[in-house]
Amino acid sequence: MSDSILPYIAGFLDGDGCIMLQLVYRHDYIFGYQIRASIVFYQKSNHKDFLEWLKGYLKYGYIRDRKDNISEYTIVGHKDVESVLKLLQLHLRLKKEQARLALEIIQDLRAIKKLTPEILLQMSKKVDQFGKLNYSKKRKNTSVKVEEYLKAKELLSP
């Protein structure tokens, strides 16, 4: 990859993008929640061709058009997000700490041999720390909700 393109993409992520780690409720999961990693780039739909170029360059994810004339290029999944963040990490400015913590959490998740309720709760608390870096206003699922769920299902040891 070109040395001049990576700083440009990192600057675009800093300005018109988002790095997210979310606790997502899944009724079909034994512990009720998963940790989803994603990167999203936003652009007005009349400039969607730029997002298509970006997707062609990075090779991951998908593009969707929202009803508000905004298009999103989204990369989801620990492996793909990790790959992109490793490419861009050195060039990020505003989202440098989010990238560092996201990579740390993703690497911790990959190292887990067998997920337990206790480990899920511990990782959920790290996701809460990450959430504080993003100033999320809509965040509903937190480690508190994960803990409540695990206790209600009697999955968490006292």
- The CA dihedral of 56, 61, 66, 71, to the nearest 10 degrees, is -30
Residue among 14, 16, 49, 77 flagged as catalytic: 16
Token output for 13? 């992520």
Look up tokens 């990450």; give the residue.
130
Residue among 11, 15, 80, 108 flagged as catalytic: 15
Among 109, 10, 118, residue whose Cα is nearest residue 54: 10
Residue 61 designated active-site:
no
Distance CA 21, CA 19 (A): 7
Token output for 31? 């512990």
Residue 131 designated active-site:
no
Among 108, 141, 157, residue whose Cα is nearest residue 32: 141
Active site residues: 15-16
